[in-house]
Chains A and B, each alone.
Chain A
């Protein structure tokens, strides 16, 4: 009997512990996990494999004619994304006689791996002609300013969805969104356009 009662007691104790264990496990599973926001992100931050200071890059076509050039205070190349990040970039495109057609300057820029797709950011200024001082309106017949500009040299196009101000000898135009054909210089303002002509 005694042995039976002792066995019974021990059995109840074990059962109680098992139930307690189950309860604790259940409560633990309900506790919010601290999610690691950077799960799955490459632990090793993208490191540039090379950088250059005061660099100039020139691209020529098969006939040896200069097509476009890029100047930058500093550039960093990132092998993972094959992107090159530029600081104070200045991009110029050239005509068949080597004359500067369009120039673009900004605080920051990114070049895709193919070297033909650019995105210029912050204080973007685009101008025509050979002057290196786009701020001087007398030297720049056409000048365009915006916050962000995508340039596709392959398709010879520039485009943005940001606000744009276009200042020309003829008059000023502003609007939201732009597409420009770098080959024939046709510029389209896409929305909310205002024009001002002072005679």
Chain B
């Protein structure tokens, strides 16, 4: 939701590490992060802050299981689910960058590739394949992007 970024961020984890000099905090082990409708599950989450103490970047990394992010863009819109081994949230740009076995589900529409960039404000989605990446993405041909879009008017009849 638009109000998400103004909400407090709550994090739960097995361990954590923090350095007051750098302001970097790393949470490890069954990490769950909530901010309004935004929810993230990962093995490791690292929070970076700028000099004013504002969160500038959040990096989530999966181990075994992919990172899972979900958010409700608008009250009446379906939730967006994102999966990847590496997910980076940039606060100023309000963007999420997914890397390594990336997948994004926006309602029934589905995107897979090696890298996906999703803008939380404009809802723009960009996806790349990476021929040399060793990662096994969901698309059938390595290095390619796969997109499944459901026509909006047939969306209800297609169920």
Contact = CB atoms under 8 A, between A and B. Distances in A.
Interface residues of B, number: 24
Contacts of A188: 15-17
A104 B47 CA distance: 27
Taking each of A128, A185, A197, A198, which has the highest tally of chain B beta carbons within 10 Å of its own beta carbon? A197
Interface stretch (B21-29, B67-75, B97-105, B107-115): B21-29
A193 B8 contact: no
B19 A170 contact: no
B55 A175 contact: no
A23 B8 CA distance: 82
Q: Is the interface of A mostly helix, strand, loop or mixed?
A: strand
B9 interface: yes
A26 to B, nearest CB: 63
A184 B19 contact: yes
Contact of A170 (B11, B13, B23): B23
B6 A193 contact: no
B18 A166 contact: yes
B6 A199 contact: yes
A142 B55 CA distance: 17
Given A169-B53, A171-B25, A194 B11 contact: yes
Closest 8 A/B residue pairs (Cβ): A195-B11, A142-B20, A197-B9, A193-B16, A169-B53, A189-B16, A198-B8, A193-B13
